[in-house]
Structure 1
Amino acid sequence: MQKLKTHFHPDVETLENKSIFTRLATRSIAIQGNSILLLYTERYEDYSLPGGGLDSGENIIEGMTRELIEETGAKNICNIEPFGMYEEYRPWHKPDFDIQHMISYCYTCDISKELGETKMELYETKNGMKAIWVDIHEAIKHNKKTMATSTKKGMSIERETFLLELLAEKM
């Protein structure tokens, strides 16, 4: 799969003498016209692609499909194609490691416009995460404003905005 970007969080100055753990994740890209299926998270005031970490031993496509269904209630998922891989190094704020190396495998797919019931995790619900079809250009504009003005922004917004801009260019 084509590497789209390697991103170092500003707090990660070096990997030398650091304990690093790798987390494999997936991101789903479902587009219909100018609308893209995203998750809006109230806590972080941002839009992000549906996705998340792979379970131990889980196939990447199975994990992508599972996450997409859990977070959005997507139906009739088909035509899954690789889009690219985004790699990032972020600080890890737990005592077992210094840095998280996140590798996100991104796939395009087709789904039904109508979404079913979600099965979000408790923290996702508490963060105010909701699946929504939104104009991709509006989502980019919103995320850029959040990056420039919000104190609530999460660590994922740079990745998400980069991916949305790349997708918008290809549309």
Structure 2
Amino acid sequence: MKLLCCHVHPDVEHIESKQIIQRLATRAIAMHGQDILLLYTERYHDYSLPGGGLDEGEDHIAGLIRELQEETGAQHIRDIQPFGCYEEYRPWHKDQANVIHMLSYCFTCQVDRELGPTRFEAYEIKNGMKPVWINIHTAIEHNIKTMKESPKKGLSIERETFLLQLIAQQLC
């Protein structure tokens, strides 16, 4: 899969001396015209692509489908195609590590516009996550404003906004 970007968070210095863990994730790009299926997270006041970490040994496509169904209730997931991989290094404060090396494998797909029930994890419910169909340009503008003005922004907003801008350029 082609590399879309390699981003090193500004707080990660002297990476060679850090304890690094790696996480593999998938991200779904499901669109209907200019509308894209995203997750709005109240805690961080941002929009992000549905997806998440792969279980150990889990196939990328199987993980994508699982995450998409859990987080959005997407139905009839089909026509899955690779879009690209976003690589990042960012601060991490768990598992005896201080840096996480995340590889987010992004795939385009088609899903029915009508969504079924979600199966959020407890932390996702606590963070106020909800699936939404939204105009991609509106979501980009919202995230850019959040990055500039909100003290609530999370660490993934730069990745998500980069991906949304790239998707808008290449798929809209």
- Name the TM-score class by shorter chain: over 0.9
What's the RMSD between the two structures over aligned residues? Answer: 0.7
> Residue deviations 1:66-95, cap 9 Å, x none?
000000000000000000000000111136
3-state SS of the aligned residue for 2:75?
Answer: coil
State how 1:1-171 maps to structure 2 within 5 Å: 1-94=1-94, 96-170=96-170, 171=172
What is the CA-CA distance between 1:23 and the residue it aligns to? Answer: 0.2
Instruction: State which drifts further: 81-90 or 94-103.
Output: 94-103
- Distance, in Å, in 2 between the alignment partners of 1:56 and 1:94 is 18
Specify the code of the residue in structure 1 equivalent to 2:54.
L
Q: Normalising by structure 1, what TM-score?
A: 0.99
Percent of aligned pairs with the same residue?
63
Which runs of 5 or more residues in structure 2 are unaligned?
none
What is the CA-CA distance between 1:56 and the residue it aligns to? Answer: 1.1
> Residue deviations 1:125-166, cap 9 Å, x none?
110000000000000000000000000000000000000000
What is the CA-CA distance between 1:14 and the residue it aligns to? Answer: 2.0
- Distance, in Å, in 2 between the alignment partners of 1:167 and 1:94 is 32
Specify the code of the residue in structure 2 equivalent to 1:64.
L
Specify the code of the residue in structure 2 equivalent to 1:16.
E
After TM superposition, the runs of 4+ consecutive aligned structure 1 residues lying more than 2 A away are none
What is the CA-CA distance between 1:10 and the residue it aligns to? Answer: 1.0
3-state SS of the aligned residue for 1:142?
Answer: helix
- Distance, in Å, in 2 between the alignment partners of 1:123 and 1:95 is 18
Q: Normalising by structure 2, what TM-score?
A: 0.98
